């Protein structure tokens, strides 16, 4: 009997489930993100430096577990279970915040959330590679990021609207709802659809699986070293920018800060959708390097433009540029790592190691920016981050092409 057009085939089911997972997990994978700064500033009246320290503590906790999280994905077959457990831990760590006020407890919960959040990127990349294989990986990662950004946009619209009615605390409960939906999506991925040999960068499973390459072989890869350094500088400049925008909005429009920050997120996410689609459609034809350079060169431009005005609509407009850089970067990074680790069996641990490198930058970015704000103001902080971003651009020029252009 011929199936109805609306019924997905067996081969479509894992792809649809990955779409849903990326959509619903979007509001969970980064924890509270910029909403944490707004909540602590608006509700608990914390100083910017204290907010920066809490975010730096969380970043350092994530930093220590990025590479182990990738190594875990190379070793275990329970990738779906790992995503479920991590999503629940992140959510519980965030929804308890309305009942705690001390610096120590807030820092502890956000550190726990950050540690659990390190599972998501390598797990989703491993599931994508294990289901679709190397040839379809660039297209799959572009599609992953498209649904991730669409999910972020929808969640931000909901957060902004609900926060206008119920206050900043509403974002915690929205995260809980999205967590339950993401758990349902990951459980829809058939276990049999995942080739775990393929998921760690080896060829499809055979009767005698190949052994993974030694980790020292990867550490001597000059291109990986350049990529890691570029990522560290990129995130040192980038991670604090949106939280700083949120803090400026809290000062100028305290009652609308959460809603306006949500609008900034929505604006960027809407731009990230076509940027991610561009990576999926053209990374195999144009190569990785041109797209990577676009992502890097957008960042210093943002840093220079933010100080030109405090008007909410100006800040919102500048935030659109984040959609171009982050949309390309998020979709392209796992693809480049996959290029560099193909056949080694070390894809996930290498992705975790590169994530650790940019985690170094992301961890120190809020603390650095908070201190600059405290002593020199917001404009000085944005311009300092722009200078760091310019250094990242210079280093990115040394990044070679990792894909044979036109192979797709």
- Give yes or no for residue 171 having a pLDDT over 60: yes
286 vs 11, more confident: 286
What pLDDT, on the 0 to 100 scale, is given for residue 208? 44
- pLDDT, position 404: 61
Average pLDDT over residues 246-252: 71
User: 165 vs 308, which has greater pLDDT?
Assistant: 308
- Position 387 scores a pLDDT of 93
Give the pLDDT band (50/70/90) at residue 206: very low
User: Residue 257's pLDDT is what?
Assistant: 64
Higher per-residue confidence, 258 vs 247: 247
Of the pLDDT bands very low, low, confident and very high (cuts 50, 70, 90), residue 203 is low
Instruction: Give 28: exposed, middle or buried? Use CB within 10 Å, 0-12, 13-18, 19+.
Output: buried
Banded pLDDT at 218 (limits 50, 70, 90): low
- Mean pLDDT, the chain, rounded, equals 81
The better pLDDT of the pair 163, 317 is held by 317
Residue 22: pLDDT band (50, 70, 90) is very high
Comparing 11 with 191, the larger pLDDT belongs to: 191
| Averaged pLDDT, 275-299 | 88
Q: In the predicted model, what is the mean pLDDT of residues 333-346?
A: 85
Asked if pLDDT for residue 244 goes beyond 50, the answer is yes
Q: What is the pLDDT of residue 21?
A: 93
Distance CA 54, CA 396 (A): 30
Residues 6+ apart with CB under 8 A from 320: 267, 268, 271
Residue 384's pLDDT is what? 92
Check residue 207 and give its pLDDT: 43
What percent of the chain shows pLDDT beyond 70?
86
Across the range 55-61, mean pLDDT stands at 81
Q: Is the pLDDT of residue 187 over 50?
A: yes
pLDDT score at 23: 92
The answer on pLDDT for 41 being more than 80 is: no
For residues 159-168, give the mean pLDDT.
73
* Long-range contacts of the stretch 49-54 (C-beta < 8 A, 24+): 49/370, 49/371, 49/373, 49/374, 50/103, 50/370, 51/243, 51/247, 51/366, 51/370, 52/240, 52/366, 52/367, 52/368, 52/369, 52/370, 52/371, 53/107, 53/367, 53/370, 54/103, 54/106, 54/107, 54/110
Mean pLDDT along residues 142-162:
83
pLDDT at position 391 over 90: yes
pLDDT score of 160 more than 50: yes
- The residue-averaged pLDDT of 107-126 equals 90
* pLDDT (0 to 100) of residue 82: 93
Summarize the confidence of residues 384-408 as an average pLDDT. 81
**Alpha-carbon dihedral angle through residues 75, 227, 121, 12, given to the nearest 10 degrees:** -90
For residues 245 and 384, which has the higher predicted lDDT (pLDDT)?
384
Per-residue pLDDT averaged across 93-117, rounded? 86
User: What is the number of other CB atoms lying within 10 angstroms of the CB of residue 12?
Assistant: 10
Band the pLDDT of 50: cuts 50, 70, 90.
Answer: confident
Per the CATH hierarchy, to which homologous superfamily does domain 17-199+213-396 belong? MFS general substrate transporter like domains (1.20.1250.20)
Q: In the chain, what percentage of residues exceed pLDDT 90?
A: 18
Band (pLDDT 50/70/90 cuts) for residue 253 is: low
Query: CA nearest 161: which of 263, 69, 252?
Result: 263
Cβ-based neighbours of 347, under 8 Å, separated by 6 or more = 74, 125, 126, 129, 199, 200, 201, 337, 338, 341
Which string of b and e fits 300-338 if b means at least 16 CB within 10 Å? Answer: bbbbbbbbeeeebeebbebbebbbbbbbbbbbbbbbbbb
Query: Quick one: average pLDDT of 76-85?
Result: 92
pLDDT at residue 219 in the model:
62
| pLDDT bracket for residue 1 (50, 70, 90) | very low
Q: What is the mean predicted confidence (pLDDT) over 182-204?
A: 85
């Amino acid at each position: 009997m011929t199936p109805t057009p609306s019924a997905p085939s067996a081969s479509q089911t894992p792809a649809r489930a990955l779409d849903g997972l990326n959509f619903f997990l979007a509001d969970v994978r980064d924890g509270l993100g910029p909403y944490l700064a707004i909540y602590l500033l608006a509700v608990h009246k914390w100083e910017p430096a204290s907010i920066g320290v809490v975010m730096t503590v969380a970043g350092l906790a994530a930093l220590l577990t990025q590479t182990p999280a990738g190594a875990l994905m190379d070793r275990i077959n329970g990738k779906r279970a790992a995503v479920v457990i991590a999503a629940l831990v992140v959510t519980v760590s965030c929804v308890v915040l309305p009942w705690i006020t001390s610096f120590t407890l807030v820092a502890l919960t956000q550190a726990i959330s950050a540690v659990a959040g390190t599972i998501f990127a390598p797990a989703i990349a491993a599931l994508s590679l294990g289901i679709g294989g190397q040839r379809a990986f660039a297209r799959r990662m572009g599609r992953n990021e498209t649904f991730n950004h669409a999910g972020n946009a929808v969640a931000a619209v909901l957060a902004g609207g609900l926060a206008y009615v119920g206050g900043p605390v509403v974002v915690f409960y929205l995260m809980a709802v999205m967590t339950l939906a993401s758990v349902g999506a990951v459980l829809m991925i058939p276990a049999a659809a995942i080739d775990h040999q393929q998921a760690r960068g080896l060829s499809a499973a055979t009767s005698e699986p190949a052994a993974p390459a030694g980790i020292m072989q990867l550490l001597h890869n000059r291109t990986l070293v350049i990529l890691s350094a570029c990522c560290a500088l990129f995130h040192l400049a980038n991670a604090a920018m949106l939280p700083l925008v949120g803090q400026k909005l809290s000062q100028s429009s305290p009652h609308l800060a959460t809603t306006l920050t949500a609008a900034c997120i929505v604006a960027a996410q809407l731009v990230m959708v076509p940027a991610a689609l561009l990576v999926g459609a053209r990374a195999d034809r144009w190569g990785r390097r041109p797209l990577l350079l676009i992502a890097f060169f957008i960042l210093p431009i943002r840093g220079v433009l933010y100080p030109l005005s405090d008007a909410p609509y100006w800040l919102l407009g500048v935030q659109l540029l984040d959609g171009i850089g982050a949309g390309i970067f998020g979709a392209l990074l796992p693809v480049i790592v996959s290029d560099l680790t193909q056949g080694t069996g070390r894809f996930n641990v290498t992705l975790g190691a590169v994530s650790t490198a940019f985690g170094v930058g992301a961890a120190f970015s809020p603390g650095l920016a908070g201190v600059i704000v405290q002593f020199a103001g917001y404009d000085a902080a944005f311009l300092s981050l722009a200078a760091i971003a310019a250094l990242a651009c210079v280093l990115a020029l040394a990044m070679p092409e990792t894909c044979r252009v036109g192979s797709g």
